[in-house]
Amino acid sequence: MRILVTDGMDASAVAKLRADGFEVVEQFYEPDELGAALREFDVVIIRSATKIKEPQIDAAKGGKLKVIIRAGVGVDNIAVKYAEENGFVVKNTPRASSNAVAELAIALLFACARNISIAGHTMREQKWEKKAYSKGFEVSGKVVGVIGYGRIGQMVGQKCQALGASVLSYVNRHKPEGCECETMKFVSPDEVYSQSDIIILCAPGGAKPLVDAESIAKMKDGVVIINVSRGSNVDEAALLEALNSGKVKAAGIDVWLSEKDPNWELAAHPAVACMPHVGAGTKEAQKRIGAELVDIIEAL
């Protein structure tokens, strides 16, 4: 079996696959070259940089390719339904990176709470602005609205509760069992928006942003917004306007509407703590992802 790895993979997992007798090729292809290349492989493993959409799937049809695997949680860089309709199997690794993403959400929250990003920047400019950045806030005692209460959302909720916050969330379908308690309640969407001091986005991307001008208007003045989910979940222009007006006190952002051309004005805002989509970027998570990939391939 030939396996193409386009965006990198944990070295120990690659070694294990090769020891099992699989041929593993690590190479990135540009979008217009990828489809034809896929015809020569049985399995392709991608992360976030590679996109397999309708053109790549059409070009790959009739070749060797059988399985598309996303090394991570979200699969919105794959045309999943179209791939499956054309006979390809699509899989992902939903468990491996959950804790890493949840920890980054908390890191961004603390960066917002204590002005860590902008204060650190001014220190590097040799400016001592203690008075300007001594007006932070504590997470303990706050209400945190976690939108999306799957694996990552639940881990974020648990960590927030451990810090002394109470958690609100809502679900469109089935409530996860064993989550509700004195410090965690499922409520309506409007209650999450209106009652939360902090809102953390952990939901898959949808048809419209979860944070836009309409939803921001429902939020408390001085709300803090953290996005570790999908860039499409935030109307970046509306968020920037709300930061400039003071309606939103601060924002922590790891995911962007465009990764080729991020909203640099939003990233440069002094009340924004930002990262270049590194939610799963820990050694531990990458090893877990690699191990999960090996399990998937060995089970084919």
* Band of residue 128 on the pLDDT scale cut at 50, 70, 90: very high
- Work out the average pLDDT over 35-58: 97
Average pLDDT over residues 200-206: 94
For residue 243, what pLDDT is reported?
98
Alpha-helical (H) ranges within the chain are 11-19, 31-38, 54-60, 80-85, 98-113, 116-124, 151-162, 189-195, 213-218, 236-245, 264-267, 283-298
Q: Over 90: is that where the pLDDT of 111 sits?
A: yes
Instruction: List the single range of 43-47, 93-97, 282-286 with lowest mean pLDDT.
Output: 93-97
Pairing mode, strands 272-274 and 166-169 = unpaired
Indicate whether 172 pLDDT > 90.
Answer: no
pLDDT score recorded for residue 74: 85
Amino acid 167: pLDDT: 98
CA distances from 32 to 53, 183, 259 (A): 11, 50, 18
Question: In the chain, what is the greatest distance between 2 CA atoms, to the nearest angstrom?
Answer: 66
Please determine, for residue 151, whether its predicted confidence score (pLDDT) is greater than 90. Answer: yes
Please write the tens of the pLDDT for every residue from 175-197.
999 999 999 999 999 999 999 99
pLDDT at res. 233: 97
Both structure tokens of 272: 């924004």
Which residues are CB-neighbours of 9 under 8 A, at least 6 positions away? 26, 45, 71, 289, 290, 293
Report the pLDDT averaged over residues 249-258: 97
Q: Kindly indicate the confidence band of residue 140, based on its pLDDT and cuts at 50, 70 and 90.
A: very high
Mean pLDDT of 255-267: 96
Residues tagged active-site:
230, 259, 277
Q: Could you give the CA distance from residue 177 to residue 142 in angstroms, rounded to a whole number?
A: 24
DSSP 5-72: ESS---HHHHHHHHHTT-EEEE----HHHHHHHHTT-SEEEE-SS--B-HHHHHHHTTSS--EEEESS
Cβ neighbour number for residue 275 with a 10 Å cutoff: 19
SS3 286: helix
pLDDT at 25 over 90: yes
User: pLDDT-based confidence at 73, cuts 50/70/90?
Assistant: confident
The CB-based long-range contact list for 257-260 (8 Å cut-off, 24+ gap) reads 257/231, 257/232, 258/231, 259/48, 259/231
| pLDDT value of residue 94 | 87
Residue 173 has pLDDT above 90, yes or no: no
Residues facing residue 26 across a β-bridge: 5
**99 confidence band (pLDDT: 50, 70, 90):** very high
Predicted TM-score (pTM) of this structure: 0.92
Burial class (CB in 10 A: 0-12, 13-18, 19+), 125: exposed
pLDDT over 90 at 67, yes or no: yes
Q: What is the mean pLDDT of the chain?
A: 97
User: Are residues 201 and 211 in contact, defined by beta-carbon separation less than 8 angstroms?
Assistant: yes
Calpha distance 243→217 (Å, rounded): 12
